[in-house]
């Protein structure tokens, strides 16, 4: 087995991919229509929205932060994008995407500024902005709904068509995942996010601009949530004041199940996307097998607990191994040092020296 394959199999993504294949195989064996052309298309559409938000959430989690406002950002972005293109003449799909992403970036900028400059806990900040953004959305909608007949055909068609058998929504998700993965692996700014998550005080000492990196992470998370709002608008052909409610926890769960460490410092966009695929596929599979929704939620919660426990166990093992290695290194250094000369022994270079007594 070569080194590259060994690294792939040793990564956290491998068991998630294996579990996904098992779920697909078992469900297909029980229900052969599960992966029919239409069934596969519907499954990928369901994955796309959560997967896109999981891509952005990865940027935040690797810094040891969290963004619980993504569901509210999705709903607000969906409504703003729909408002920008609805009407008799309507607007192009590109305008809807632009508006959605801009709204998401601005929301992420608010979250990032509160966390980076005021040094407030990310959990508290994003929980607060979750309700603030929901309130703004409810105020703007005023209890009304944007329906499919008010949207241009380019937006509605975007949610029900695809290319090469893959929905356009999923292509957007895959493109964002590819860009995000390359950025985190190859760009210095991306690697800085891992450094901050591994040891924030040390990151500041070595000169990493922690505040700027925090703003970047939350703006990326907001942009992905805003883009997901446009996908939501296209998929459901409309939006109301309840759009986006309840998305935040499945997004965080998808990232953690996919190997993104909730304690920061490790994880990949690929793993987060696989986690979203696994959780969504399990949900659709259990529904296809007529399993009650309560058990679906219980299984998702169990997977989340297992993933967090696994991350903690791995972290403790690494810390223990580091302590053992440090102790071994100290012993080797002690063994390599020469022993001090015995008391009364002559110093080197003074052999045969005589003492001259001076008599006055």
343 is a domain residue:
no
Cα 16–300–234 angle (5° rounding)?
85
Structure tokens at 234: 């296209």
344 is a domain residue:
no
3 is a domain residue:
no
Q: What is the CATH number of the domain that holds 138?
A: 1.10.3470
CA distance 220 to 242: 24
356 is a domain residue:
no
CA distance 304 to 321: 26
326 is a domain residue:
no
**In this predicted model, what pLDDT tens digit does every residue of 123-153 receive, in sequence order?**
999 999 999 999 998 888 877 888 888 888 8
334 is a domain residue:
no
Closest CA to 122 of 62, 47, 191, 204: 62
Number of domains into which the chain is organized: 1
pLDDT in tens, the chain (360 residues): 555 445 545 567 777 888 888 888 888 888 777 777 787 888 888 899 999 999 999 999 999 999 999 999 999 999 999 888 887 566 788 999 999 999 999 999 999 999 999 989 999 999 999 999 999 988 888 778 888 888 888 888 888 888 888 899 999 999 999 999 999 999 999 999 999 988 888 888 888 899 999 999 999 999 999 999 999 999 988 888 888 888 888 899 889 888 888 888 888 999 899 989 988 888 878 777 777 777 777 777 777 777 777 667 766 776 787 788 777 777 777 777 665 665 555 545 544 444 444 444
Identify whether the C-beta of residue 49 lies closer than 8 Å to the C-beta of residue 167: no
Q: Which domain holds residue 196?
A: 14-317
5 is a domain residue:
no
How far is Cα of residue 308 from the mean position of the Cα atoms in its chain? 14
Q: How many helices (H) and strands (E) does the chain have?
A: 14, 2
**In this predicted model, what pLDDT tens digit does every residue of 203-232 receive, in sequence order?**
888 888 999 999 999 999 999 999 999 999
CA distance 147 to 151: 7
Q: 3-class DSSP state for residue 34?
A: coil
6 is a domain residue:
no
Q: 3-class DSSP state for residue 264?
A: coil
Could you identify the residue written with the tokens 């709904």?
145
Q: Could you give the C-alpha distances from 349 to 346, 353, 354, 356, in angstroms and in order?
A: 9, 9, 13, 17
């Amino acid at each position: 087995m070569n080194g590259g394959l060994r690294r792939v199999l040793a990564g956290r993504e491998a068991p998630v991919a294996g579990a996904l294949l098992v779920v697909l195989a078992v469900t297909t064996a029980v229900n052969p229509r599960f992966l029919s052309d239409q069934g596969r298309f519907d499954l990928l559409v369901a994955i796309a929205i959560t997967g896109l938000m999981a891509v952005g959430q990865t940027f935040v989690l690797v810094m040891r932060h969290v963004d619980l406002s993504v569901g509210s950002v999705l709903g607000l972005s969906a409504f703003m994008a729909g408002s920008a293109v609805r009407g008799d003449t309507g607007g192009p799909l590109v305008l809807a995407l632009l508006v959605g992403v801009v709204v998401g970036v601005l929301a992420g900028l608010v979250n990032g500024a509160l966390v980076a400059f005021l040094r407030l806990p990310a959990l508290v900040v994003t929980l607060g902005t979750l309700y603030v953004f929901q309130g703004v959305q409810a105020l703007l909608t005023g209890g009304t709904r944007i329906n499919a007949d008010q949207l241009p055909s380019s937006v509605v068609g975007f949610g029900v068509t695809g290319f090469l058998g893959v929905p356009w929504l999923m292509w957007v998700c895959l493109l964002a995942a590819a860009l995000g993965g390359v950025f985190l692996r190859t760009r210095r700014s991306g690697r800085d996010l891992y450094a901050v998550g591994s040891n924030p005080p040390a990151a500041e000492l070595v000169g990493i601009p922690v505040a700027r990196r925090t703003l970047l992470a939350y703006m990326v998370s907001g942009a992905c949530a805003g883009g997901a709002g446009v996908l939501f608008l296209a998929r459901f052909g409309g939006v109301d004041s309840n759009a986006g409610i309840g998305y935040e926890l499945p997004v965080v769960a998808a990232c953690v199940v996919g190997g993104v460490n909730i304690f920061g410092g490790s994880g990949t966009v690929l793993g987060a996307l696989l986690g979203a695929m696994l959780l969504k596929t399990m949900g659709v599979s259990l529904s296809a097998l007529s399993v009650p929704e309560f058990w679906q939620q219980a299984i998702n919660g169990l997977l989340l607990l297992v993933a967090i426990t696994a991350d903690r166990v791995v972290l403790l093992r690494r810390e223990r191994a580091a302590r053992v290695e440090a102790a071994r290194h100290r012993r080797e250094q002690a063994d390599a040092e020469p022993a001090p000369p015995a008391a009364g022994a002559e110093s080197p270079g003074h052999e045969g020296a005589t003492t001259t007594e001076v008599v006055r």
